[in-house]
Amino acid sequence: MKIIESYKDFELTIESKKTLYSAMHDKAYVDNITKRLPAGKSVWIDSNGDTTNKNIVVFENVKWKGIFDPHMPIKFYKFFDSPTMVQAINKYINPTSIVIYQSEEFRYLTPDELRDKIEFMVDSYPTKIFIYVDMLGTDFNKLKYSYTHIIQSVITQNTIVHSLSKFKYLLEIN
């Protein structure tokens, strides 16, 4: 039996990657988010953004590059917290909003890690930010704390919390 040392030891087919991506990026709440967006350019990072809308600029992780039509206007990044990506978005796109919807960057985190990611977003992008958080993937003592308590402990000032359904929240940060 071979031990997989890293996920670079095997390659998924394009169809497998598409299936995996679709399962990870459910479109259930996209309309709920888009109706809240302010007028102007919106940047969707790792969020299954709508590339047919001229006011939405889509950034996806480079590992998904092979599953999208090469003619689609999708930009790819390697590191989520890259200063180069932050600068490019702020300087060249100058968006009115940033959307993080079902991003891998905001899954399976502790409350402290979630807070750090939110603070990074607030410090990096001087615009309205929408972050979708699925609390089922957040790692905390679920017997001791409620989901609402954890959400309240990680949000920053000027944040509106929209409850989308059980355990799913949309943080709107001004």
Task: Note the pLDDT tens digit of each residue in 108-162.
Answer: 888 899 999 999 999 999 999 999 998 887 877 777 877 787 888 888 778 999 9
Task: Note the pLDDT tens digit of each residue in 4-28.
Answer: 666 666 677 888 888 878 887 788 8
> What pTM was computed for the model?
0.87
Question: Are the C-beta atoms of residues 104 and 80 closer than 8 Å to each other?
Answer: no
Question: Are the C-beta atoms of residues 38 and 128 closer than 8 Å to each other?
Answer: yes
The DSSP annotation for the chain comes to ----SSGGGS---HHHHHHHHHHHS--TTHHHHHTTPPSS-EEEESS---TTSTTEEEEEEGGGGGGS-TTS-EEEES-TT-HHHHHHIIIII--SEEEE-S-GGGSS--HHHHHHHHHHHHHH--SEEEEEEEGGGS-S-TTTS-HHHHHHHH--TTEEEEEEETTEEEEEE-
- Give Cα separations from 112 to 45, 46, 92, 151, 160 (angstroms): 21, 21, 31, 11, 19
Per-residue pLDDT band at 93 (split at 50, 70, 90) = very high
Domains in the chain: ranges and CATH: 7-173 (3.40.50.150)
| Averaged pLDDT, 83-91 | 94
